[in-house]
């Protein structure tokens, strides 16, 4: 149903005060990365968020924990970033980036309605002739709906969908030096000239729905890669060995590559690939294709059984320490993480403790957060190593060598105890 949005009084005639400086509206992970990246690579910009808490956090240089090192880079660029306290300042800018991450639940399922509501808040403040660049993760057809439902009274507004190909934990680096830029537009000239001026990579333009599908396709391809590795590991285990040591040979094949997502794991996690898998399962009408993706999702969900079985095979376990709670070392997120799945499975059977020297641990029901790794290792029956700093790895190794009754489970990628320089104690099990 069409929603009519009343125009902000200033949008009718007032020209933008800053025609060449963009504003980034939305200060979640993507907004912080894009505004800082723009300040470092292009020039001055402004930021705003409708949520007071996010504005206050930025004012205090309190940045997302999902990007280690971002705070240090923020100190280099913050003088070129103007923080606004009121939405009316959006009208001063011709180019408006909508930079709000699509919320995900613990299973990685998206709530796109939050993005729609955010856009609705922004529209009344857009200057006449503004370019609105959407970076949120949405489903194919979303921009067409926005144009029809929220921008029908604003034909002067240029709507652009920019495909976000950032990698969690290394997002700023990928913004500064992308291998390509991808936009969905009505007209090719809707892409701001700054991208051609300051970025030397190829620029691809599509229709809105095509660009939205590119984003989905990239993540689904990565989902396929993860699933391929886990399926091959299932097959290899049937024959008495693991797939992980073989992956290096595949990475050296130029048709696959050194950065391929072919490391066996406890399944897809983190929420970002799962988000677009959810889109496929909700939107795809071809039954055979949908069954394929349902089977892929089920295979990854079942991979946690490798750890469950390894833990279950150790008799006498009453307590266990999990080292490194995020789904990967480079970023802090518990969405659909192996740690949260493990807690759900064993919280009623084991005393689950957690240690992380990278990130602050949130309060979790049934989980004891510990500050001293060495002391905790003295009082548990098992330890799961997800990731750790080198000094912490040495602490775990010494504990395993000193206590033959301590059961170790290595799920790190790559397995730190598989290195020749770090011999693996006999009581440390490689889950992969």
**The two three-digit tokens of residue 28, written as one number:** 């979640």
pTM: 0.84
pLDDT at residue 13 greater than cutoff 60: no
CB-based contacts of 174: which residues, under 8 Å, 6+ apart?
A: 165, 166, 167
Q: How far is CA 191 from the centre of its chain?
A: 25
pLDDT at residue 176 greater than cutoff 60: yes
Which pLDDT band, with edges at 50, 70 and 90, does 3 fall under?
A: very low
- CATH (one of 1.10.3210.10, 1.10.1040.10, 3.30.200.20, 3.40.50.300) for 216-302: 1.10.1040.10
pLDDT, tens only, 177-208: 999 999 999 999 999 999 999 999 999 999 99
Predicted confidence at residue 362, as pLDDT, reads 86
Average pLDDT over residues 240-249: 93
pLDDT, tens only, 89-146: 999 999 999 999 899 888 888 899 999 999 999 999 999 999 999 999 999 999 999 9
Q: Determine the Cα–Cα distance for residues 100 and 93; give it in Å rounded to an integer.
A: 18
Of the two residues 413 and 10, the one the predictor is more confident about is 413
The mean predicted confidence, pLDDT, of the chain is 91
* Domains 9-206 and 314-430 belong to one CATH topology: yes
Q: Determine the Cα–Cα distance for residues 257 and 134; give it in Å rounded to an integer.
A: 31
CB-based contacts of 161: which residues, under 8 Å, 6+ apart?
A: 133, 134, 138, 143, 183, 184, 185, 208, 211, 212
pLDDT, tens only, 326-370: 988 878 888 889 999 999 999 999 999 999 988 888 899 999 999
Which pLDDT band, with edges at 50, 70 and 90, does 422 fall under?
A: low
Q: Determine the Cα–Cα distance for residues 259 and 193; give it in Å rounded to an integer.
A: 31
Domain residue spans of the chain: 9-206, 216-302, 314-430
pLDDT at residue 9 greater than cutoff 90: no
Q: pLDDT > 90: what percent of the chain?
A: 77
Predicted confidence at residue 12, as pLDDT, reads 44
Q: Are 408 and 383 in contact (CB under 8 A)?
A: yes
pLDDT, tens only, 371-399: 999 999 999 999 999 999 889 999 999 99
Does the domain at 314-430 match CATH 3.40.50.720? Answer given as yes
Predicted confidence at residue 16, as pLDDT, reads 77
Of the two residues 165 and 14, the one the predictor is more confident about is 165
Does the domain at 9-206 match CATH 3.40.50.300? Answer given as no
Predicted confidence at residue 382, as pLDDT, reads 97
Buried b (16+ CB within 10 A) or exposed e, 92-102: bbbbbbbbbbb
Predicted confidence at residue 169, as pLDDT, reads 83
**The two three-digit tokens of residue 202, written as one number:** 């190829």
pLDDT at residue 5 greater than cutoff 70: no
Which pLDDT band, with edges at 50, 70 and 90, does 6 fall under?
A: very low
Predicted confidence at residue 421, as pLDDT, reads 60
């Amino acid at each position: 149903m069409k929603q009519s949005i009343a125009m902000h009084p200033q949008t009718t005639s007032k020209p933008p005060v800053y025609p060449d400086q963009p504003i980034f509206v939305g200060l979640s992970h993507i907004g912080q990365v894009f505004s800082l990246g723009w300040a470092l690579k292009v020039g001055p910009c402004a930021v705003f968020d409708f949520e007071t808490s996010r504005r206050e956090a930025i004012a205090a240089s309190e940045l997302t924990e999902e990007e280690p090192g971002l705070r240090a880079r923020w100190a280099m660029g913050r003088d070129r970033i103007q923080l606004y306290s009121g939405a009316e300042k959006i009208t001063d800018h011709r180019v408006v980036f909508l930079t709000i991450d699509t919320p995900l639940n613990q299973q990685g399922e998206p709530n796109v309605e939050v993005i729609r509501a955010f856009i609705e808040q922004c529209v009344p403040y857009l200057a006449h002739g503004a370019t609105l660049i959407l970076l949120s993760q949405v489903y194919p057809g979303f921009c067409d709906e926005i144009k029809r439902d929220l921008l029908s009274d604003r034909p002067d507004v240029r709507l652009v969908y920019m495909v976000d190909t950032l990698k969690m934990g290394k997002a700023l680096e990928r913004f500064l030096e992308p291998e390509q830029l991808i936009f969905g537009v009505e007209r090719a000239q809707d892409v701001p000239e700054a991208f051609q001026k300051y970025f030397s990579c190829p620029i691809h333009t599509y229709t809105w729905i095509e660009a939205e599908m590119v984003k989905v396709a990239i993540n689904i391809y990565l989902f396929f890669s993860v699933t391929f590795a886990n399926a091959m590991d299932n097959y290899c285990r049937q024959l008495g060995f693991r797939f992980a040591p073989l992956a290096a040979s595949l990475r050296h094949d130029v048709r696959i590559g050194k950065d391929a997502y072919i490391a066996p794991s406890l399944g897809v996690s983190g929420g970002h690939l799962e988000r677009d898998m959810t889109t496929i399962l909700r939107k795809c009408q071809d039954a055979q294709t949908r069954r394929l993706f349902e089977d892929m999702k089920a295979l990854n969900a079942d991979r946690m059984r490798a750890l469950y079985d390894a833990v279950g095979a150790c008799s006498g376990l009453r307590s266990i320490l999990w080292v490194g709670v995020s789904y990967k070392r480079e970023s802090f997120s518990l969405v659909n993480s192996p740690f949260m799945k493990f807690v759900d499975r064993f919280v009623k059977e084991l005393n689950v403790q957690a240690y992380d020297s990278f990130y602050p641990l949130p309060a979790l029901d049934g989980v004891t957060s510990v500050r001293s790794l060495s002391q905790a290792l003295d009082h548990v029956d098992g330890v799961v190593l997800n990731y750790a700093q080198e000094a912490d790895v040495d602490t775990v190794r010494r504990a395993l060598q000193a206590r033959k009754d301590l059961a170790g489970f290595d799920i790190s990628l790559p397995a730190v105890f598989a290195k020749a320089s770090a011999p693996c104690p006999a009581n440390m099990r490689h889950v992969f």
